[in-house]
A and B are shown apart, each in its own frame.
Chain A
Amino acid sequence: MILFDYARRNIRLHWFRSFLAVIGIVIGVVAISSMGVLGNSLVLSISDSLTTVGDTIVVYPQSGAGPMGGGGGGTTSFQITQRQVDQITRAVGTNLVIPVHTGADRVIMGKENQAVSLYGMDPADIPEILELEDGIFLRSTTGAMAGKRLAEEFDLNVGSTVVIGEDGERVRIVGILKERGIGFDINPDYALVVSDRWFESTYGEEGYNMVVVKVEDLEEIDAVKTAIEDALNRRTDVVTVLDTRAILQTILDAFNNISTFTTAIGGISLIVAGVSILNVMMMSVTERTREIGIIRSIGAKRREVMRIFLYEALVLGLIGAGIGGVLSFGGAFLAVSVMLQSTTYLFVPSSLVYILYGMLFGIGTSLLSGLYPAWRAANLNPIEALRHD
């Protein structure tokens, strides 16, 4: 393919300015594709957690803790009262209602003194939403259960004793909970779960920080949600009712904002790259005017001249997209590792396809910018081009 080779050699001859033009393409490709990969990995990992808690509605006090504020502390003035819990229970019919106290306190575990999240729940409710790894579920008001990761980090076993709070109450660990992953209701992996009575007597709280409603029939989620809102938010909004899909939506919306911003940077970078490729190609056309005259005089048609210059743009695009593809794989790997702590969702086709998209965008931009210079080259008057120095 001599025409292609010819274009390639011309780029090599002017490798430095070609390289500068390619940098823009690289940045654009990296920005677009690593964002795509990250977004897709995020959606996949959230969707995976979603299946385990997809039947859950969470009720928060209005303007109290948001979905991620589970460990916010026991001192918030916005709480859900027992009366409201009863209202919820009546509104949701046969579905299970689990009121939860959340808080945090300093806990001495062995030699370590550490702030730890606390969940206070009715012992009867615990088996409904949590699973046991070792030991037994909480049966009385005393005792506590430890999340798997907390237990691992501080070497807690069934029978270990921890000291909770400034008063220094000794509490025995009766069971270790199975690891649950990121949940939308409660996140006990790195927390202690105690009985509601103990929590209330220790911290003097009556209200709850959140109420988890397990819905038996997934189809009913919207109806149950509406029922709770109708029952409690009659005059003013006193509670916020979220189902997992809504929470997912909130996270995705936040991500989309970031993603739009980054993609915009990628887009701008591609535009800049396009302009600089246009510039490089226009220089090339001007410098090679005589050469264009020669190849026209020996029988190259306009579209063949156009092809030579488009090949040149294509080669620039391919180089940029190639480097960009490799870098964005690395970039996505880094971003996913940091943000999701796992690269499981990076190596799936639906994530990797974004790298392909990014690369195609890069090549497309390059070809588009090459179009005008190529057209100019093809439409030069051969006689005048031959006279050009």
Chain B
Amino acid sequence: MEKGVNPSGKSGGPLIRLADVTKVYPLPAGDVTAIDHLSLEVEHGDFVAVMGVSGSGKSTLLNLIGCLDVPTSGDLFLNGVNIRNLADDPLTELRRDTIGFVFQQFNLIPLLTAYENVEFPLILSQGRDGGPGPGEIANRCRAVLSSVGLDESLATHTPSELSGGQQQRVAIARALVNDPDILLCDEPTGNLDTRTGTTIMELLAEMNRAGKTIIMVTHDQRVAGYARRRIELVDGRLA
């Protein structure tokens, strides 16, 4: 992928660049403009908290950067690649290789164990050029599970047998296992009690110190305090 073309990504420009991006959802009741001519740059290693009331366009922004959706107009560059005109497969490859998602609801696959949930993205990239072999998969899963502080004995448990904090650790491990450039977090502490939320935020801050670029949607001021930079959206525009 583009990682190969531009290995560090640091040589040319920002990691993420939005140039006059607009996202319009056509609805029967009339078009809804979720993102309105937004321009934004995020550098490598940054930690951005995206704030705003509900309906302000936070989630849409996250979905666009996360390659789950493409802009209606304007350009969005990830590592210098404009995603606007990409087809479904290359967008999916970007999600797999460049982006890690952490959700409010943890979104682990209920039928798979903690270990298998973490393994899943690696399995998806297995057998491709530069994809991991079976031995490497096992090593990376173990390494990433220990880096998020999940006890090894919990690896064989299914999500329903884990606490919220443990599930979120597994989710973060899953997001990190493909060594993505960007970690996208959507209210990562929204479903956790304050104390567990704090430990998760400390984990994310530690990942950021280790070099991960993080973009986090939240409306919790205290959580936003962990970020290096805050932006606030109002009606799809920067406030």
Chain A residues with CB under 8 Å of chain B are: 2-3, 6, 9-10, 13, 290-291, 293-302, 304, 382-383, 386
Shortest CB-to-CB span from A230 to chain B, Å, is: 75
Number of interface residues of B (CB under 8 A): 29
**With A298-B101, A382-B68, A383-B69 in contact, is A2–B116 under 8 Å at CB?**
yes
**With A294-B107, A382-B68 in contact, is A301–B116 under 8 Å at CB?**
no
* Chain A contact residues: helix, strand, loop or mixed: helix
Shortest CB-to-CB span from A342 to chain B, Å, is: 50
| A6 proximity list for chain B (CB < 8 A) | 109, 111-112
Q: Which residue of B lies closest to A303 (CB)?
A: B89
Shortest CB-to-CB span from B166 to chain A, Å, is: 18
Chain B residues with CB under 8 Å of chain A are: 63, 66, 68-69, 88-89, 92-93, 95-97, 101, 103, 107-112, 116, 119-121, 123-125, 174-175, 178
Can you report 24 residue pairs joining A to B where beta carbons are below 8 Å apart? Answer: A2-B116, A2-B123, A6-B109, A9-B111, A291-B109, A293-B107, A294-B108, A294-B109, A295-B120, A297-B68, A297-B101, A297-B107, A298-B121, A298-B175, A299-B121, A299-B124, A301-B93, A302-B88, A302-B89, A302-B92, A382-B68, A383-B68, A386-B68, A386-B107
Shortest CB-to-CB span from B196 to chain A, Å, is: 21
Docked CA distance A294–B123 (Å): 15
Docked CA distance A300–B97 (Å): 11
| B88 proximity list for chain A (CB < 8 A) | 301-302
Q: Are B107 and A299 in contact (CB under 8 A)?
A: no
Q: Are B95 and A298 in contact (CB under 8 A)?
A: yes
**With A2-B116, A294-B109, A383-B68 in contact, is A299–B123 under 8 Å at CB?**
no
| A293 proximity list for chain B (CB < 8 A) | 107
Docked CA distance A302–B92 (Å): 9
Shortest CB-to-CB span from B168 to chain A, Å, is: 14
Q: Are B68 and A298 in contact (CB under 8 A)?
A: no
| A304 proximity list for chain B (CB < 8 A) | 124
| A294 proximity list for chain B (CB < 8 A) | 107-109
Docked CA distance A196–B103 (Å): 99
